[in-house]
Structure 1
């Protein structure tokens, strides 16, 4: 059972709405399962940022299968490949425009609008980020006041960011899912992580699996690299094509 911080207990008592960002991945699934035992049901809202054609097929159905709440789907006005073509660059670990524009932006817009409709003033933005995922993520604060999204004026809005499963290991995440009588998304039979089918943060194994499952989408990525003259990955200081990086020729 999750050890609930005293700040969270206070926010629950104050009637905060807990917005659970659900990608369909193992971390989101485990996080939701844990929060169901901690936060009153009426204070939970589940949100999924739809990534369009670059999303794994069946991911939204998977979320709904294991979610007792209504799943609110939000989507940016632009899609990922369109964004890359206009910018003529792929996102990078240092500049993850895909996360800010296609996920965080639409989700925060939904939170602002939903709070207003409810006449509520406190939001807790729950994300399935874990310290074990990377050195950069291990340095994040698992609970913080979001000054940028909060408003203190005629309109009152207090927004907090919370990482409920921040201290869990990958093994523990899968154990939480199993203990809930659930199964992780089917792509985990081969994938280490789940995001876009071809994520800039994905390992070669995950990218190969994506190419096997979605060859038509893989070709779109390969063709777009050639069109804009910019590659998704680097080998040392030299750019490397997606085909060479993955080791599979697009058909």
Structure 2
């Protein structure tokens, strides 16, 4: 099998020379792990900053230890000022594929806040937000660009800050992702023994198999999700316009 490597655009090479800081978002999932292992080979160590958005009680146990085990850099852990279940209860609705408040409020928001503050402390002006998103994952992600200027996070007035989004493994297949991890002499997170993807234990984007594994590993947390659905009168999943209770969708009943 060919050696797995990351394609580095000429723009990235220029930004390395310009002293850009590369903020590597690391969830502990396979894509983040593969991305970091490959980025280390092309970006100077002193220009890499690793950041993890802590999801609290809905995060898989051991994720942060896994990240630290296979990371040579300090892992900067950031947290939102809210919890997933608290956010859902307050809104009265679970997130959906079209409205992923969990991603924006619990991941993207805290990470960009960290980037802004850290870049300012360093006296830097260029930040590269590195994410392990891949075109193969979904049709919506396939429409993204592997490298783009983030106008929303950039400032060019009283303060100068240029932020770019870079998806280093955008064109990778799932097989190439795992190969990159094994090539680095590493192992993927333990939940992949049964899971297809890794995010929250009970993710709205997770397949039934992943959700069942979550219920098996975290029965008390599963019970809280089921009870929250009943409390707010809204379900995580739908069949067309018909709500489908989590217990029915997963096929696992909560013990009284």
TM-score with structure 1 setting the length: 0.99
Does 109-118 or 231-240 show the bigger shift? 231-240
SS in 1 for 2:19: coil
The structure 2 residue matched to 1:221, chosen from 202, 205, 225, is: 225
Partner of 2:36: 32
The answer to whether structure 1 residue 165 and structure 2 residue 169 are counterparts is: yes
- Displacement of 1:154: 2.1
The answer on whether the counterparts of 2:7 and 2:168 sit within 8 Å (CA) in structure 1 is: no
4+ residue segments displaced more than 4 Å: none
Partner of 2:22: 18
Q: 2: distance between equivalents of 1:161 and 1:168?
A: 17
Partner of 1:48: 52
Alignment of 1:1-251 (within 5 A): 1-251=5-255
Q: 2: distance between equivalents of 1:184 and 1:2?
A: 19
The answer on whether the counterparts of 2:22 and 2:48 sit within 8 Å (CA) in structure 1 is: yes
- Displacement of 1:84: 0.1
Q: 2: distance between equivalents of 1:90 and 1:120?
A: 38
Q: 1: distance between equivalents of 2:109 and 2:212?
A: 29
Q: 2: distance between equivalents of 1:131 and 1:3?
A: 15
- Displacement of 1:250: 1.2
RMSD across aligned positions (CA): 0.5
The number of aligned residues is 251
**Structure 2: runs of 5+ lacking an equivalent:** none
- Displacement of 1:206: 0.2
TM-score with structure 2 setting the length: 0.97
Q: 1: distance between equivalents of 2:62 and 2:239?
A: 33
- Displacement of 1:174: 0.2
